[in-house]
Amino acid sequence: MDWDKLVQLLVNGVTLGSVYALVALGFSMVYGILKLLNLAHGDVLMVGAFIGWGALGWLGGAQDPRVAVWLLILLMVLAAMAGCGLLGVAIERFAYRPLRRAPRIAPLISALGVSFFLQNSVLLLFGSEFRSYETFDLVDVEIGIHWGPLNVWVIRIVVVAAALAMMVALWLLVTRTKLGKAMRATAFDREAAAMMGIDVDRVIVTTFFIGSALAGAAGVLVGLIFGQINHFMGFGYGLKGFIAAVVGGIGSMPGAMLGGLFIGVVEALSIGYIEDVTFGRLGSAFSDLVVFSILVLFMLLRPQGFLGRPEVKKV
């Protein structure tokens, strides 16, 4: 058994998983309140990655940053969160709100249109080549934890810590504040919440803002870990985020976090071991196949996911 490899894969999995968890959270929150599959969520992440890249360039670039590195990363994340939050609010206002009373398939098609629009707009403005965050120039690869088989680059620690911090903040917001109470009430029963005097539209807008801001932050984190972004990156992360939300239990916040970590670790392990297990017949690109089988297994055996409640139809 090659322990070094296993530990390294687990580290990769947890980093990737915390990004998936952020995506899954935003997706799951929106689903909980509107019962709407926000297919454009992944593209919001992509826009966030580009906003972070723009902020990086504006602050002098990775070679020669004008501010301290920690401040630079913080500003990039904040810029992406603000920009994506507003983008999410705009998407809700113009693409989804006119369709609240429409048949269920209508907002989904609208979401497809938004996704396509965002992707191609970024393609138009920035071109199809990969843009680089140059993280290796920003932070040396050697900096980090080196302890036995464990080698963790500091950026990975920052990414996991940032994701954790945001999840804790969100958890406190939802469980401890009045706004959080309103959000939970709206998710439970929108009509009843409206009758209790909750401004449902405002709750929905806030939810979209928070969810999209998380996706924007995730976009910057992805850029930091992998260094490269392009207009099509959102599709893969969006898809994995959806799957994480489904596996964790859609509509459940701890479920989204758990599902994200689970999918991240599974993906990292299958990337690492699929060649050995299949005796070299399948390359690492086939790790998606493993994730797909897990999704199908969950659909068959436990459609409500890890922590979701089974859906009861109300008439």
Element (H, E) at 220: helix 200-226
Torsion angle defined by CA atoms of residues 72, 78, 83 and 85, in that order, rounded to the nearest 10 degrees: 160
Min. distance of Cβ 298 from other proteins in angstroms? 9
Min. distance of Cβ 289 from other proteins in angstroms? 6
Choose between 1 and 125: whose C-beta lies nearer to other proteins. Answer: 125
Choose between 175 and 284: whose C-beta lies nearer to other proteins. Answer: 284
Min. distance of Cβ 138 from other proteins in angstroms? 23
The gap from C-alpha 256 to its chain's centroid, in whole angstroms, comes to 10
Choose between 149 and 283: whose C-beta lies nearer to other proteins. Answer: 283
Interface residues toward other proteins, by CB under 8 A:
31, 35, 37, 39, 90, 94-95, 97-110, 112-121, 123-127, 190-191, 194-195, 198-201, 235-236, 239, 242-243, 246, 283, 285-286, 288-289, 291-292, 295-296, 299-300, 303, 311, 313, 315
Q: Which residues pair with 131 in a beta bridge?
A: 229
Choose between 246 and 257: whose C-beta lies nearer to other proteins. Answer: 246
Min. distance of Cβ 118 from other proteins in angstroms? 8
Min. distance of Cβ 150 from other proteins in angstroms? 31
**How far is 282 from 152, CA to CA, in rounded Å?**
28
Choose between 3 and 292: whose C-beta lies nearer to other proteins. Answer: 292
| Neighbouring residues of 106: CB distance < 8 A, sequence distance ≥ 6 | 99
First to last CA, the chain: 55
Min. distance of Cβ 213 from other proteins in angstroms? 19
Choose between 171 and 286: whose C-beta lies nearer to other proteins. Answer: 286
150: exposed, middle or buried (C-beta count within 10 Å: 0-12, 13-18, 19+)?
middle
**How far is 195 from 172, CA to CA, in rounded Å?**
25
Are the C-beta atoms of 256 and 19 separated by less than 8 Å? no
